[in-house]
Structure 1
Amino acid sequence: MVFLLSDEIIFPNPLLADKNGLLAVGGDLNIDRLLLAYSMGIFPWFNPSEDILWWASPYRPIYTPGKIHLSKSLKQTIRKHNFEIRVDTNFKEVINYCGSIARNGQEGTWISDEIINTYQILFDIGYLHTVEVYLENKLVGGLYGISLGKAFFGESMFHLMPNTSKIALFALSELLKNKGFHFIDSQVTNPHGLRMGAHEVTNVKFDRMVKEAMKYDDDIGKWDFNLGNLRELIK
């Protein structure tokens, strides 16, 4: 069944979502509500003209940090170009580029001005992180997501050059491996993610994984990419 949220900052059990993963409708994008949602494995996804929809997918695609699959051609791209990885230096440009790209099966983009302003706050207080790929000092790809406990909830990515969103994901994976994170949540399954090493878990297993990850302190604040050159990481 689908629940109607009130002004009270509370969510139903995510395992009660309907067969499509829709759990609740309504509420607002209050920062405390968003952090509670992510801490329960729930995420917002809606068109700007709609009520806020909250989702908890029946099958969740996740990546294991440090186990992103790099194709032979992607490794060649990394070796060919002198990409630079930066973390948490350019939120506004990253989310604006992400907002220019529609999700599969959705017309337009869900990243409205309200979303940008709200997630700017999450970035400013240290819960949202960006991974940025630069070539010759120009931003060419990146992603952003929410960090809570030992879980990272990926939100969106973009590329202005082939494969650079994949490079951002690889860099994030290596960074999170170094930080001891348990998983990267990809929210919605797609062939691109599966090729990169994502695997689906049931909502029951995902719920257990989220609860375990939330036992750890939040890694709040600006992060740094201190793992060296990308070329060294793919050897």
Structure 2
Amino acid sequence: MPVVCFSENQFYFPSLSRANEDGLLLIGGKVTPERVLEAYPKGIFPWYGEDNVPMWWSPDPRFVLFPPEMHVSRSMQKLARKETFTFTVNQAFKDVIAACASMPREGQHGTWITPEMKDVYTTLHRRGFAHSAEAWLDGELVGGIYGLRIGNVFFGESMFSKVSNASKFAFIRYVQELEQTGVQLVDCQVYTSHVETLGARLIPRVYFVHLLRQMCFPAQ
């Protein structure tokens, strides 16, 4: 059963075994930059629920991508060669997170990217933990992704696309760049068919947490 936090003074991250079948671990507790940085290496991430209540999740299994396993289709290879999109990193973080928050999602009403979440991740961006990758078309931002990098793990938060294949292009280019700089694991959190086509797969949570211990804080 998930833990309910009634007081900030009593806040703590419980054992992952307390998560329910949907992965909900903890209800309540203010989302702060410090707590986010503590949560991710433990296999936990925040989403806001209804009535603006913070909820902390740790789904089992976990949806991840190992960069060497990324699949780039022939059509995406062709798109890259045509140089239809321009790729950048950390050039429009606030615009990317705003676009992710405003994009309608199938089966969802509203967004979990609340103003509070935007503030937290923007602060983490200023501190060098949160990053964005962008796809541009004729000078307009048309796709992107943002998330956190801790050690050799990139924790993807959300993507958006205003034109076909823009988010895929940004994702592929960014994962390729991340791999070159030592990232060994991309956390995609929960299953989506969109990212599955790129090579992501489900792994047991216990294995995911084992990898985090090795990769978030690699030995110097």
- Residue 217 (structure 1) shift: 7.7
Equivalent residue for 1:173?
Answer: 175
Q: Helix, strand or coil for the counterpart of 1:161? A: coil
Q: Is the 1:43–1:56 contact (alpha carbons within 8 Å) kept by the matching residues of 2?
A: yes
Q: Helix, strand or coil for the counterpart of 2:147? A: strand
Partner of residue 46 from structure 2, selected from 38, 44, 47: 44
Matches within 5 A, 1:76-225: 76-216=78-218
Q: Which runs of 4+ in 1 moved over 6 A?
A: none
Equivalent residue for 1:3?
Answer: 3
- Residue 207 (structure 1) shift: 1.1
Equivalent residue for 2:72?
Answer: 70
Partner of residue 60 from structure 1, selected from 62, 71, 82: 62
The alignment's C-alpha RMSD in Å is 1.8
* Matched AA of 2:113: I
TM-score under structure 2 normalisation? 0.92
Q: Is the 2:2–2:20 contact (alpha carbons within 8 Å) kept by the matching residues of 1?
A: yes
Q: Is the 1:142–1:168 contact (alpha carbons within 8 Å) kept by the matching residues of 2?
A: yes
Give the gaps of 5 or more residues in structure 1.
219-235
* Matched AA of 2:2: V
Q: Is the 2:85–2:166 contact (alpha carbons within 8 Å) kept by the matching residues of 1?
A: no
Q: Is the 2:28–2:53 contact (alpha carbons within 8 Å) kept by the matching residues of 1?
A: yes
Q: CA–CA distance in 2 between the matches of 1:107 and 1:60?
A: 24
TM-score under structure 1 normalisation? 0.86
Instruction: Return closer, same or farther for 1:15/1:172 CA change in 2, 3 Å cut-off.
Output: farther
Equivalent residue for 1:23?
Answer: 25
Alignment coverage as a number of residue pairs: 218
Q: CA–CA distance in 2 between the matches of 1:129 and 1:136?
A: 23
- Residue 135 (structure 1) shift: 2.3
Please identify which structure carries the higher helix content.
2
- Residue 75 (structure 1) shift: 2.0
